[in-house]
A and B are shown apart, each in its own frame.
Chain A
């Protein structure tokens, strides 16, 4: 029987092959997305852990610095175990890239080694990441060789790198030299692997949501593909029953067909994932070890995908009554019950409960764990609830229109939707979920970013943009930089058209406090010392307290009033947060005129930001002045520096990528469904043509039939998504600026794209509608 089923599947005619092909394509895309998605998620978590690990253990650098400042021997602050002095600074590289420069000074041969470093480089030698070695060896980076702290003698392994493209140099020093070069260097007794991302709070919700958002369109697409040529297949199954096959045997035939499609799709999916992996590795986006091709994941997929697809066929046949007398499609003629709203209500209840718990986020314990789970459950519940409630809404609307329709196209569309609202809503199932999730995120992200109060609740969502008109950069940093800067400032201040000058003492900083934890990885970063007034003019969105002895802003995790010790005899009170989490991590803004000299002395001025009248003449005058007083520096016109939140950037990138993938799949699904529905009803359409119905009228009717549920789905998804976003932010005590443009543009864009795809599907109407099908019975 199985052999017969295989033969029937492979010789099922053109529609059979199209069906198998479409299912295989959908499954291939889905399998590949799941594999690559899981790779990327795992790699992302591992990268965060690696960055944290190389920051070192919990020993406080500040303690060490204080001891040193007070003349206490280094050994007295260690436990007697081997240690290294570890520092992190940065260097400029061509094309605005940054080299992360680690310095290491071991206490002895048994000192702990950082991950990825086989042997600690001897003083005066350095190890480089593969990307840095390649850059130094290239013509573009040849001049960089002299700027590096020491000659490169070896390569750093990927274990130390955030990603394969990262430019990293690890330079060996003796302890005294390193402490002198970088007062911010600190002592480490070990490089313990650190796990900073809570799987329960981050990985699980992300995985559930991503799987839901990715799998739903796939399942709908597979469902749409399985219905292609369904009538012919059903007739074949009925014929089998007529000649004595049991219902089970008939279902086996269907299961084998989709099972074959599953095997093909799985194989193609794995091949696609491996090809994507090869591309990512070749472009050094990921290291090979970050995307493991271990057998377990692939084997699980190889078993699950064909199995699921094989099971789906008999499930799809539930609605088909197969008897020897023929096939009867059990059509839903009962009205859709309003009870279909219950899941939506449940989802909202879970969500509100989770959001209420989140407002007490600092209580810890079970609330901390329950809140994200309730929120995730609520989002999933509402998404599924929308799928359940959609047909009811369509039915009510269609019945209303059917009673009042004056135009034949409206009458035909409304009658069709009223008769089977589930079938009418099925093609837009994915749309409602996509619009819901996307609208919710679109409300949350920009609203949080624009809100002045949101930065307290979600500091990692903030962007700050600095727009200097001109920028003077010392590259490489000169030994007499301080003098050169002072001279340049004086000279530039006299240049006509220059309105403000902000010298930036930018460099790495490792702030520590005794009782304030650093909540987010990668908090080492820039300290920028700038004149308060000038900086406020340059940095948009910064309105910070400017008083002597006050840190204008530091990264997230600190609260106003926290005391932050930054160096020997250097302790400042935090006035407010400036939550920046770009690659620089901490950005501490200190009013330059009030900054303690110790802080300014920590770092040289690397950059001068200029605000000018914007004229070319001023730029030329500035250039002449710079050439006169600081010939080693470069002048760059008007480069906007955007410190974009990783969270914002990544989420947006993910959102739009997922949207693109989901909508592409959903669009294919819709097109397949529309075409299949038209062919399924071709005799009915042919009759209408025969009695003189214009083709344009049938097109309008079909467009309305697709468009009405589409509008309902878009409105339903957008309203729920917007309200959910607003409720969440309100419950967090934030007053938000409503991003109406974003909120409204997305559904409109999606709906327009959707209708365009529907129109493509309607091209089939011309072929399905001619009167010829009348001859078929």
Chain B
């Protein structure tokens, strides 16, 4: 029996002559926190993008909660990412023209929530994450740690079932990185959210239940649940 919220089977992805994934198979259970680790160029980010429906694998299948992602059209995959997934990227990747609160509210507004309601919920999440005082600032005025807190708020505000984080501490110093990981994992745990984090830092991987090591496009090892 398979109780995974995400099942990937035989994922293959090429970029020209570069083979990024060479048949990756893995299962991630609901509420689990998983680190995808490995050296640079191993295929970690590509794996994360395939698991989250950002990229389509050339071969293999990804199933989320029983739905085969490759059978969905672009619009459905976009809706899935908007409603079921949250994302945190290395540099936060906030929309530079929008204030922090508007960045957090944006996924809700896109999903049809009224602006006032979306802003209210965004402020609530910023407060929970200790970033309420920067709500009116634009991303250029924030520190790296603050940017990531806002990005985490943006990822959590829609109530996702899975949060994907791609090197969320890659641009931060160790103190800020620890703060971000603490916030991220605490809230994921509290909300019962599945967390998938790509990292090459053992210190970050240590926050997770499990570590999947990717090397040369394949899964090299699976650490046991901590």
Verify that A and B bind, or say they do not: yes
A244 sits at the interface (CB 8 A): no
A 755-777 binary contact with B (CB < 8 Å = 1; else 0): 00000000000000001101101
A692 touches B107 (CB 8 A): yes
B103 smallest CB distance to A (angstroms): 10
**Interface segment, one of B27-35, B89-97, B215-223:** B89-97
State whether A412 and B98 are in contact (beta carbons under 8 Å apart), knowing that A405-B115, A683-B93, A774-B93 are contacts in the complex. Answer: yes
A411 sits at the interface (CB 8 A): yes
Q: 6 extra interchain contacts, Cβ-Cβ under 8 A, other than A412-B97, A692-B78, A692-B85?
A: A412-B95, A419-B96, A684-B95, A691-B81, A691-B107, A772-B55
CB-defined A-B contacts under 8 Å, sample of 10: A406-B115, A407-B109, A411-B115, A684-B95, A684-B96, A689-B54, A690-B87, A692-B78, A693-B82, A771-B49
State whether A415 and B74 are in contact (beta carbons under 8 Å apart), knowing that A692-B83, A771-B54, A775-B45 are contacts in the complex. Answer: no
B114 sits at the interface (CB 8 A): yes
Which A residues, 674 to 722, have Cβ-Cβ distances below 8 Å to chain B?
A: 683-684, 687-695, 697
State whether A691 and B154 are in contact (beta carbons under 8 Å apart), knowing that A415-B95, A684-B96 are contacts in the complex. Answer: yes
A690 touches B96 (CB 8 A): no
A418 sits at the interface (CB 8 A): yes
Q: Which of A411, A419, A777: most chain B CB closer than 10 A? A: A411
A19 sits at the interface (CB 8 A): no
Among A411, A692, A775, the residue within 8 A (CB) of B98 is: A411
| A697→B93 CA distance, assembly (Å) | 18
| A689→B114 CA distance, assembly (Å) | 21
Among A411, A689, A695, A775, the residue within 8 A (CB) of B102 is: A411
B57 smallest CB distance to A (angstroms): 13
A419 touches B49 (CB 8 A): no
| A415→B138 CA distance, assembly (Å) | 10
A637 sits at the interface (CB 8 A): no
* B residues near A419, Cβ cutoff 8 Å: 96-97, 138
A422 sits at the interface (CB 8 A): no
* Cβ-closest 8 pairs across A and B: A692-B82, A692-B81, A415-B97, A687-B93, A771-B54, A419-B97, A408-B109, A408-B110
B93 touches A684 (CB 8 A): yes
A416 touches B54 (CB 8 A): no
B79 sits at the interface (CB 8 A): yes
Q: Which of A415, A687, A692: most chain B CB closer than 10 A? A: A692
| A68→B114 CA distance, assembly (Å) | 96
B80 sits at the interface (CB 8 A): yes
Number of chain B interface residues as a range = 35 or more
B87 touches A691 (CB 8 A): yes
A257 smallest CB distance to B (angstroms): 29
Interface size on A, residues (CB 8 A): 27
| A24→B97 CA distance, assembly (Å) | 34
* A residues near B109, Cβ cutoff 8 Å: 406-408, 411
| A691→B88 CA distance, assembly (Å) | 9
**Chain A binding site: helix, strand, loop or mixed by DSSP?**
helix
Residue of A nearest to B166 (CB): A774
A485 smallest CB distance to B (angstroms): 80
State whether A415 and B102 are in contact (beta carbons under 8 Å apart), knowing that A405-B115, A771-B55, A775-B45 are contacts in the complex. Answer: yes
* A residues near B106, Cβ cutoff 8 Å: 408, 411-412, 688, 691
State whether A693 and B110 are in contact (beta carbons under 8 Å apart), knowing that A771-B49, A771-B55, A774-B89 are contacts in the complex. Answer: yes
* A residues near B81, Cβ cutoff 8 Å: 690-692
* A residues near B224, Cβ cutoff 8 Å: none
B225 sits at the interface (CB 8 A): no
User: Chain A: residues with CB nearer than 8 A to chain B?
Assistant: 405-408, 411-412, 415-416, 418-419, 683-684, 687-695, 697, 771-772, 774-775, 777
* B residues near A771, Cβ cutoff 8 Å: 49, 54-55
B75 sits at the interface (CB 8 A): yes
* A residues near B115, Cβ cutoff 8 Å: 405-406, 411
A401 smallest CB distance to B (angstroms): 12
* B residues near A683, Cβ cutoff 8 Å: 93
| A669→B13 CA distance, assembly (Å) | 39
* A residues near B45, Cβ cutoff 8 Å: 775
* B residues near A692, Cβ cutoff 8 Å: 78-83, 85, 107, 110-111
B217 smallest CB distance to A (angstroms): 15
Which B residues, 33 to 74, have Cβ-Cβ distances below 8 Å to chain A?
A: 45-46, 49, 52, 54-55, 74
B89 smallest CB distance to A (angstroms): 7
* B residues near A408, Cβ cutoff 8 Å: 106, 109-110
| A393→B86 CA distance, assembly (Å) | 37
* A residues near B110, Cβ cutoff 8 Å: 408, 692-694, 697
B211 smallest CB distance to A (angstroms): 22
* B residues near A694, Cβ cutoff 8 Å: 75, 78, 110
Q: Which of B55, B87, B90, B110: most chain A CB closer than 10 A? A: B110
| A251→B86 CA distance, assembly (Å) | 44
Residue of B nearest to A689 (CB): B78
A777 touches B154 (CB 8 A): no
Q: Which of B52, B78, B81, B111: most chain A CB closer than 10 A? A: B78
Which B residues, 84 to 139, have Cβ-Cβ distances below 8 Å to chain A?
A: 85-87, 89-91, 93-98, 102, 106-107, 109-111, 114-115, 138
| A42→B102 CA distance, assembly (Å) | 60
B16 smallest CB distance to A (angstroms): 12
Which B residues, 150 to 197, have Cβ-Cβ distances below 8 Å to chain A?
A: 154, 166
State whether A695 and B74 are in contact (beta carbons under 8 Å apart), knowing that A405-B115, A412-B98 are contacts in the complex. Answer: yes
B95 touches A688 (CB 8 A): yes
* B residues near A416, Cβ cutoff 8 Å: 97
A424 smallest CB distance to B (angstroms): 11
B150 smallest CB distance to A (angstroms): 13
| A684→B92 CA distance, assembly (Å) | 10
Residue of A nearest to B107 (CB): A691
B48 smallest CB distance to A (angstroms): 10
| A592→B91 CA distance, assembly (Å) | 90
A328 smallest CB distance to B (angstroms): 12
| A688→B151 CA distance, assembly (Å) | 12
* B residues near A690, Cβ cutoff 8 Å: 52, 54, 81, 87, 89
| A667→B79 CA distance, assembly (Å) | 35
| A694→B107 CA distance, assembly (Å) | 11
* B residues near A693, Cβ cutoff 8 Å: 78, 82, 110
